[in-house]
Amino acid sequence: MVQRILILGGGFAGLFAAREVKKRLGDNAEVELISEENYFVFQPLLPEVAAGSITAPHAVTPLRALLKGVFVRKARVHSVDVERQIVTVFQGVQRRPTEVSYDHLVVAMGQVVDLSRVPGLADHALTMKHLEDARRLRNHVIEKLEHAEITSLPEVKREALTFTVVGAGFSGVETVGEMKELIDRSLKFYPNVSPEEVRVVVVEFADRVLGELPESLGRYARRRLEERGIEIMLGKGVASATGTLLTLSDGTEIPTRTIVATIGNAPSPVVRDMPLEQQAGKIVVERSLNAKGRDNIWSIGDCALIPMKEGAEARDDFAPPTAQFAVREARCLAANIAASVAGNPLKPFVYKSQGALASLGARRGVAEVWGMKISGFPAWLLWRAYYVGFLPGFSTKVRVLLNWMMDALSARSVVQLKGAEPPVSRYVHYKAGDRIYEAGNRADGVYSIVSGAVELRQGDGNGEETVLRLGKGDHFGDGILVGENLRRSTVRALEDTKVLLLDRETYLQMVDAFPVLKDYFNEHLRKTFGVEPMPGKRAS
């Protein structure tokens, strides 16, 4: 009987699971893979995309091109019904739910980023999980250089030229190394920015960098990064973030407009809601990779807690969340699904790491391979060779190599594509004392106070000044409604404050479309500032 094998997730684990299962079961299985993106992204290359040495489209491969014979469904998983053996998904732009059945289900959905534990971090930090994140970081860094080039305010220049990365594991170290290289190679285009004005900082809670590697390599990496002018702050956590300030757990304040968070892995909400036993945010599986107590649900990759020995307890007793392990897990998984279909006994997952590598940017790296420690240029070369070898798809390998060639031969491009634009409706955090805007500024949106308090001062032109204290549920900046292009008032945070900022166009659209809002804001403006309400409707 043909078995329907359904795989959730298109990362390393999911991709290789689909390939191995198809290889092993052939026409005895109908293999389907569900992924939110229609491409496979090679995460270790993200820092290079962020630094512009590889362009985003060349760093990824369409899943359909990698998975001949597997049905690829681009969809968002909504829920899993283990009784009916049905997964409900929403496909692409469709609004109608679709039900997909399975005989065996493989959960390989990885983890998501959750920064909600640090106030302001989720709203102000960039992340490095998806391809879009890398693109956004690149455009963000160039935007800061452009801003530093033309600002006349020293404190703004200092904030714009301070770049921080939170976390000094693989992702953090590679990101900070590549980001520094992008900045160094771009500065020649910004004559008003001198190298001493640039500050690049990485903050790590542990007392060393690259905790995944032996201590001597971590020390080497640290020294190399410091030689290149990167500040390393160890033993410090992150306490809070705003659009212009990163505050550390020991009270250190870093004025910055760039925070990249490489911390905060958490289970995806869909995985969390599955009726499967979970521990530390991961699905508890047997050594044979089936979910505990289930014989047709399996899980591998970062979302699974895979014991590497009986009675596993310590962190080292479980499989680490690396591509290397995911690929091996996929192979074992396919064998066990085949065994399960045939009624044969399952085998436990066994694998020993062959080593680990990290790139430090600027043609330096660190590596431990088969017990040997390697550092510097050879390690960097090994890193590139290893990852090109690992990249699935021949044409992607070629594209990445050609990108590296182009990058080596020409200047780093400082093109700032779109992609760094903030959402039209977003939360913004301020510290007590922060200026939110001042008279004469471009009127860019309307603010509603979610928590905290602000002070609004507005002169009448004759030396008289209105001073208002506004708190939770109050709003300001709505003068836009009566044609305010430049602010007439100055607003400062009195306490630590969180606001919802709705941009100008969206606000005007909303007021236009919802009569309740128009009536309310017109009345509010009249009462507060004596401004006459709008005579009619804004043309649409």
Site for a second copy in 103-142 (CB under 8 A): 131-132, 142
Site for a second copy contains 498 (CB under 8 A)? yes
Least distance in angstroms from the C-beta of 144 to a second copy? 9
Site for a second copy contains 528 (CB under 8 A)? no
Least distance in angstroms from the C-beta of 14 to a second copy? 16
Q: What is the C-alpha separation between 172 and 208, in angstroms, rounded?
A: 12
Site string for a second copy, 27-56 (x = CB under 8 A): ----------xxx------------x--xx
Q: What is the C-alpha separation between 49 and 43, in angstroms, rounded?
A: 10
Site for a second copy contains 500 (CB under 8 A)? yes
Site for a second copy contains 381 (CB under 8 A)? no
Least distance in angstroms from the C-beta of 259 to a second copy? 16
Least distance in angstroms from the C-beta of 267 to a second copy? 19
Least distance in angstroms from the C-beta of 407 to a second copy? 10
Of 161, 213, 183, residue with least CA distance to 362? 183
Report how far apart the first and last C-alpha atoms of the chain are (Å, whole number). 60
Site for a second copy contains 534 (CB under 8 A)? no
Nearer to a second copy, 462 or 540 (CB): 540
3-state secondary structure of 258: strand
Nearer to a second copy, 385 or 439 (CB): 439
DSSP assignments along 105-148, one per residue: EEE---EEE--TTSTTHHHH-EE-SSHHHHHHHHHHHHHHHHHH
Site for a second copy contains 398 (CB under 8 A)? yes
Give the range of 316-324, 357-365, 369-377, 512-520 binding a second copy by CB under 8 A. Answer: 512-520
Q: Map the footprint of a second copy across residues 166-225, applying CB under 8 A.
A: 189-190
Among 320, 509, 529, 533, binds a second copy (CB under 8 A): 509
Least distance in angstroms from the C-beta of 373 to a second copy? 36
Q: What is the C-alpha separation between 172 and 421, in angstroms, rounded?
A: 23
Q: Going by DSSP bridges, is the β-strand pair 465-471/453-459 parallel, antiparallel, or unpaired?
A: antiparallel
Reported in sequence order, the residue ranges of 393-496 that DSSP labels E, i.e. its strands, are 425-430, 435-437, 445-451, 453-459, 465-471, 475-476, 489-493
DSSP H or E stretch at residue 217: helix 215-227
Q: Is 473 exposed, middle or buried (0-12, 13-18, 19+ CB in 10 A)?
A: exposed
Nearer to a second copy, 335 or 502 (CB): 502
Q: What is the C-alpha separation between 501 and 450, in angstroms, rounded?
A: 10
Nearer to a second copy, 231 or 512 (CB): 512
Among 84, 466, 515, 526, binds a second copy (CB under 8 A): 515
Q: Map the footprint of a second copy across residues 426-465, applying CB under 8 A.
A: 427, 437, 440-442, 444, 448-451
Of 238, 235, 223, 109, residue with least CA distance to 166? 238
Site string for a second copy, 71-100 (x = CB under 8 A): --xxx--------------xxxxxxxxx--
Nearer to a second copy, 212 or 444 (CB): 444
Reported in sequence order, the residue ranges of 230-325 that DSSP labels E, i.e. its strands, are 230-234, 238-241, 245-248, 253-255, 258-261, 265-267, 278-279, 282-284, 297-299, 304-305
Q: Going by DSSP bridges, is the β-strand pair 245-248/253-255 parallel, antiparallel, or unpaired?
A: antiparallel
Among 406, 453, 468, 494, binds a second copy (CB under 8 A): 406
Nearer to a second copy, 96 or 352 (CB): 96
What amino acid is encoded at 430 in this protein?
Answer: Y
Site for a second copy contains 315 (CB under 8 A)? no
Site for a second copy contains 352 (CB under 8 A)? no
Reported in sequence order, the residue ranges of 332-382 that DSSP labels E, i.e. its strands, are 355-361, 364-369, 372-376
What amino acid is encoded at 93 in this protein?
Answer: V
Q: What is the C-alpha separation between 380 and 367, in angstroms, rounded?
A: 8
Give the range of 21-29, 147-155, 259-267, 274-282 binding a second copy by CB under 8 A. Answer: 147-155
Least distance in angstroms from the C-beta of 101 to a second copy? 15
Nearer to a second copy, 73 or 294 (CB): 73
* DSSP label at residue 6: E
* DSSP label at residue 344: P
Least distance in angstroms from the C-beta of 17 to a second copy? 20
Among 402, 432, 471, 495, binds a second copy (CB under 8 A): 402
Site for a second copy contains 527 (CB under 8 A)? no
Q: What is the C-alpha separation between 255 and 243, in angstroms, rounded?
A: 9
Site for a second copy contains 404 (CB under 8 A)? no
Among 2, 350, 385, 411, binds a second copy (CB under 8 A): 411
Least distance in angstroms from the C-beta of 455 to a second copy? 19
3-state secondary structure of 387: helix
Site for a second copy contains 395 (CB under 8 A)? yes
Among 399, 430, 454, 525, binds a second copy (CB under 8 A): 399
Give the range of 209-217, 320-328, 335-343, 399-407 binding a second copy by CB under 8 A. Answer: 399-407
Site for a second copy contains 19 (CB under 8 A)? no
Q: What is the C-alpha separation between 334 and 514, in angstroms, rounded?
A: 55
